[in-house]
Structure 1
Amino acid sequence: MSGMLRSRLAKTFTRIARSAVAVAALAGGTAAVRAADMPTPAAAPVFTQVDQNIWVVTLTANIKAQPRYPGASDYTAIGFPSVSIRKLGEPERFSTPDEGLSFALYETSTFRIGPTVRYISGRYYGDDRRHLFGFRDAGFALEPGVFGEFTPVDWLRVRAEIRHGTIGHHGVVGSVGADFIQPFDRWRFSIGPRFNFGDGAFARRYFGVLPIEALLNGRVTAFRPDSFTSAGVLGAVTYTFDERWAVTGYAGYNRIIGSSADSPLVRRPFGSPDQFVFGAKIDYSFTMPALF
């Protein structure tokens, strides 16, 4: 009986295996037919000629609404220009509106590293005379540093920056973010998480309250944060009209967390831990002979 049972089980297993192979072959054929029938999204128009002696220069006009100062609950609009250069024929590198002005000293198809700099808006008494009475100004800052980017696949980019403040503060700050990228015809969508951090020098400059400030203001208590952290997300959509013109709209959100979140400056009515940004930019590209 045991030999007959083994024989029957072997025959049954053989039938099941043959059926599974047939089903897999049918499914594979059907998937191939469907894939062949699906339209392939057309790529956005770009400069296609390859010439190392020609540059593609992109001029960008930016406008965005952001908190009036770090931790503020009211918003202001700012506009500023930017420029980027690449050699004709080189693919345009993905970038996001919230990253610093950067230049790659070393790059491959998957990795880039180089210097970067960011501008941080300051906090001034004139921004809110009613709530900021008695507070010292925390001036705007430039934050030079270095960045690194890793793009393991076309649809994912990871970027990190480490910077040191000048003028407004002298702390160490940094950011880490990832972007999931999806192009479709002339459109490109991206979204990803953000994490920002700063040391005690940065946190005390923009979120600390000195005893004399608390005494003069009369509505806050002294506060000394030991660090700054925030976490959030940024999403953007770009439409490319042709190889010269493109427009981008974006929106982002960051939540101040950790030590700085307990500052009186990010509580009502002085401010808010919820920090939003909304913006748009227009790109215009043209070619010119390389200068070096």
Structure 2
Amino acid sequence: MIVRSLLSGAAFAALTLIAPAAVAQSQPYERMGPQQDWTVDVGVGALYSQDSNGDTGGKANVVPYIAANWRDRIYFSPFEGLGWNVVSTDTFRAGLQLRPRFSPDDIEGLTLDRPDFGAGAAVYAYQRLPGNIVVGGRVSRDVTDVSEGTEYHASIGHQRVTPIGALNVSAYVRGGDRKLADAYYGVSPAEALANGIPAYAPDGGLQGAGATAMLITPLSPRWAAGGLLGYERRLGDIADSPVSQNDDSWRVGAFVVRRFGG
């Protein structure tokens, strides 16, 4: 393979070990190396987000990174939470997840009751098409009484090996019910009176569309570095919320990770 010839043997080994798990363990992209019985990835990353979940401004965080996988059946990652591939074939995966939902940042100048950290129970299914394109989606429901809402998410993605590492790009749309929209973008009458903004009760429906890109670059047989970039445009009723005057959000990050496994 031409791309493989541009990488050192050690670098290609690191790529085949680390890249698939770092991108998505629920999605059946073409395998880049032999399956291991178990793996644990440990590292650290830096993340900058701009106007995520409303007009929250820019915020930078240093965050730990840990991911684990057992025979492509049971897995954990910061992106997908705890998951189980109930059905796992070469081109199709379907299963269950317990996904984290992080608390949104406060909005400067406003005193609002923003949701706490929560989690959702999700079901998903993804199919690989020719060209290493994966399509599918998931439906999740809050199980921590944070919103009691339901969210749906559909995506199409592509993964390839480049001269500097594994690149995954995807586009998606997401939506949810009224409870989910109200928890994150609603304004109660009491909050409206206290902050001098209109009360707002959004309905359910389409809530956003966006794209993400992630690049995993091998450093050695057990070490790799990665970068990610994401953009989303808020849509529907949540775009009309008084806490979302700017409907564009960005996220950029970088991380370094070390793999353990056998």
Instruction: Give TM-score, length-normalised by structure 2.
Output: 0.78
Aligned position for 2:28: none
Q: Structure 2: which 5+ runs fail to align?
A: 18-31
1:242 to 206, 220, 234: 220
Cα gap change, 1:243/1:186 in structure 2, threshold over 3 Å: closer, same or farther? farther
1:108 to 81, 89, 105: 89
2: CA distance between counterparts of 1:149 and 1:62? 28
- Per mean C-alpha deviation after superposition, the further-off stretch among 255-264 and 74-83 is 74-83
1: CA distance between counterparts of 2:35 and 2:115? 48
**What are the residue-to-residue correspondences of 1:35-184 with 2, within 5 Å?**
40-42=2-4, 44-45=12-13, 46=16, 54-67=37-50, 70-78=53-61, 79-87=63-71, 98-123=79-104, 127-128=106-107, 131-133=109-111, 135-153=112-130, 155-165=132-142, 166-184=144-162
> Residue 96 of structure 1: CA displacement?
10
> Residue 153 of structure 1: CA displacement?
3.1
1:259 to 237, 251, 261: 237
> Residue 185 of structure 1: CA displacement?
4.3
Q: Which residue identity lines up with residue 184 of structure 1 in the other structure?
A: T
Residue deviations 1:17-59, cap 9 Å, x none? xxxxxxxxxxxxxxxxxxxxxx72217214699687x533333
Aligned position for 2:184: 206
1: CA distance between counterparts of 2:240 and 2:261? 51
Cα gap change, 1:115/1:164 in structure 2, threshold over 3 Å: closer, same or farther? same
Q: Which residue identity lines up with residue 178 of structure 2 in the other structure?
A: G
2: CA distance between counterparts of 1:118 and 1:143? 5
> Residue 259 of structure 1: CA displacement?
1.0
The structure having more radius of gyration, on CA atoms, is 1
> Residue 141 of structure 1: CA displacement?
1.9
1: CA distance between counterparts of 2:129 and 2:172? 18
Contact 1:70 1:122 in 2 (8 A): no
1: CA distance between counterparts of 2:45 and 2:180? 26
Q: Which residue identity lines up with residue 59 of structure 1 in the other structure?
A: V
2: CA distance between counterparts of 1:64 and 1:160? 25
Alignment of 1:196 with 2:174, yes or no, is yes
Q: Which residue identity lines up with residue 113 of structure 1 in the other structure?
A: A
**What are the residue-to-residue correspondences of 1:272-287 with 2, within 5 Å?**
272-287=246-261
Q: How many equivalent residue pairs?
A: 235
| SS in structure 1 at match of 2:220 | coil
Q: Which residue identity lines up with residue 115 of structure 1 in the other structure?
A: L
Q: Structure 1: which 5+ runs fail to align?
A: 1-38
Alignment identity in percent? Answer: 23
Cα gap change, 1:180/1:217 in structure 2, threshold over 3 Å: closer, same or farther? same
Bigger strand share? 2
Cα gap change, 1:262/1:246 in structure 2, threshold over 3 Å: closer, same or farther? same
> Residue 200 of structure 1: CA displacement?
0.3
Q: Which residue identity lines up with residue 114 of structure 1 in the other structure?
A: G
> Residue 274 of structure 1: CA displacement?
0.7
Contact 1:196 1:231 in 2 (8 A): yes
2: CA distance between counterparts of 1:174 and 1:207? 17
Q: Which residue identity lines up with residue 116 of structure 1 in the other structure?
A: Q
Calculate the aligned-residue CA RMSD, in Å: 3.0
Aligned position for 1:21: none
Aligned position for 1:224: 201
Instruction: Give TM-score, length-normalised by structure 1.
Output: 0.70
> Residue 69 of structure 1: CA displacement?
5.4
| SS in structure 2 at match of 1:76 | strand
| SS in structure 2 at match of 1:142 | strand
2: CA distance between counterparts of 1:118 and 1:40? 38
1: CA distance between counterparts of 2:60 and 2:199? 31
Q: Which residue identity lines up with residue 80 of structure 1 in the other structure?
A: P
Cα gap change, 1:278/1:159 in structure 2, threshold over 3 Å: closer, same or farther? farther
2: CA distance between counterparts of 1:61 and 1:112? 28
